[in-house]
Amino acid sequence: MTTTLYGKDILDVQSLTDDEVHLIMETAARYERVMKSGGRLLNMDGKTLATLFYEPSTRTRLSFETAMLRLGGTVLSVADAKTSSSSKKGETIYDTGKMIEGYADVAVIRHPETGSAAELAAGSSKPVINGGDGAGQHPTQALLDLYTIIKEKGKTEGLTVCLAGDLKNGRTVHSGAALLARMGVKFIFTAPEALAMPASITEGLKKSGVEVEINPDLDSAVAKSDVLYMTRIQKERFEDPEEYERLKTSYEVTNETVKKAKKGMIIMHPLPRVTEIAVEVDAYEGAAYFRQAANGVPVRMALLALVCGCE
């Protein structure tokens, strides 16, 4: 394969070609095999990753930092960039990008504003990876979700994927729908009307020939789904606290839900969960959400090495 991602910003899934996606999947699988066999990878020896997180993060930040360290690189991290970086003094994200290029070889940013990753990339000559920009995109989550489905189900073609919960504000489902639509899946969108998938996404999928069913009933949706992708109701995206309180318990996956599910269905979640998946469900063999989180490491290892030309 002659595809290369060297020097490329990873801002959204739409800008990735199918060949690039396949390259990321293949590289991640190879890195995972090396790690499981006890081998070491030093692809990023002498390279530095800068992580800029203007929003709270556990999995994304830790998995990127773990990925860089497991590749032999180093990490510069601003744990709470919103309050402990020069943005508090009025520095623009563009100027932060100009500054970062003198310190690091690649940067990851998470920010509450849609378009923030693109602004950082505009200021930096080094590759920038979007770790989540508001209610916009989360491309690396979509990639690790695809990787998880392939590992768990062995394929994507012909699968029915139910995206459930907060589809209006969930950047993980926005990116995931765009990527999985290219992989031959059918969708069921399960959400309260107030949190429905944006019409621009739903209609765009339908126009491109993707089968989409709108079904707010979770029990009937899981009965025909191969993958249930559950999301939390995102409190931080609500302007009206009363609206959040009204909607926060819209869905809860329990053992009773699992009993009604299609045989072999897996359950995914970008985490953190709140009340939408009961702890009792963790014992279900198809509960893949913690395996999914772990898959972030090899996928992000692959991305870091590829965009830095170290693969």
The reply to whether 51 and 133 lie within a common domain is yes
Calculate what percentage of the chain has a pLDDT beyond 90: 79
For tokens 């069921």, name the residue.
188
Rg from Cα positions in the chain: 19
Which DSSP letter does residue 246 get? Answer: H
Domains in the chain, number: 2
Length of the chain: 311
- Residue 207 designated active-site: no
Give the model confidence (pLDDT) of 89-125 as tens digits: 568 999 999 999 899 999 999 998 999 999 999 999 9
Calculate what percentage of the chain has a pLDDT beyond 70: 93
pLDDT at 82 over 90: no
SS (H, E, C) 119-132: HHHHHCCCCEEEEE
What value does the mean pLDDT take over residues 225-242?
81
The reply to whether 65 and 184 lie within a common domain is no
Q: Which amino acid is at 126?
A: K
- Residue 59 designated active-site: yes
Query: Would you state the pLDDT for residue 239?
Result: 66
In angstroms, the CA 304 to CA 272 distance is 24
pLDDT at 62 over 90: yes
The reply to whether 275 and 286 lie within a common domain is yes
The reply to whether 77 and 168 lie within a common domain is no
- Residue 60 designated active-site: yes
The reply to whether 179 and 234 lie within a common domain is yes
CA dihedral 109, 113, 114, 118 (to 10 degrees): -40
Task: Write down the catalytic residue from 47, 61, 138, 174.
Answer: 138
The reply to whether 165 and 280 lie within a common domain is yes
What is the pLDDT confidence band of residue 197, given thresholds at 50, 70 and 90? very high
The CATH number of the domain holding residue 111 is 3.40.50.1370
What value does the mean pLDDT take over residues 181-185?
96
Task: Write down the catalytic residue from 27, 60, 96, 190.
Answer: 60
The reply to whether 132 and 154 lie within a common domain is no
Q: Residues comprising the binding site for L-aspartate?
A: 89, 171, 232
Report yes or no on 146 lying in a domain.
yes
Positive or negative: CA dihedral 93, 94, 95, 99:
positive
Domain that holds residue 83: 18-137+296-307
- Residue 111 designated active-site: no
Task: Write down the catalytic residue from 40, 89, 207, 263.
Answer: 89
Tokens of 306: 């590829």
Closest to 138 in 3D by CA, of 64, 191, 206: 64
pLDDT at 233 over 90: no
The reply to whether 59 and 169 lie within a common domain is no
The reply to whether 95 and 107 lie within a common domain is yes
Report yes or no on 6 lying in a domain.
no
Closest to 251 in 3D by CA, of 162, 174, 187: 162
H helix runs in 108-249, sequence order? 116-123, 139-153, 171-180, 199-207, 218-222, 241-247
Report yes or no on 7 lying in a domain.
no
The reply to whether 117 and 159 lie within a common domain is no
Tell me what the pLDDT averaged over the chain comes to. 92
The reply to whether 117 and 209 lie within a common domain is no
Beta strand 106-111 with 266-268 is unpaired
What is the pLDDT confidence band of residue 87, given thresholds at 50, 70 and 90? low
Q: What backbone torsions phi and psi does residue 293 show, to the nearest 5 degrees?
A: -60, -40
Give the model confidence (pLDDT) of 267-310 as tens digits: 999 999 999 999 999 999 999 999 999 999 999 999 999 999 99
Query: Would you state the pLDDT for residue 85?
Result: 47
Q: Residues comprising the binding site?
A: 59-60, 89, 110, 138, 141, 171, 232, 271-272
For tokens 């991305």, name the residue.
303
Q: Which amino acid is at 172?
A: T
Report yes or no on 114 lying in a domain.
yes
The reply to whether 133 and 182 lie within a common domain is no
Better-scored residue on pLDDT, 282 or 82: 282
H helix runs in 37-102, sequence order? 59-70, 81-84, 93-100
- Residue 138 designated active-site: yes
What value does the mean pLDDT take over residues 197-218?
96
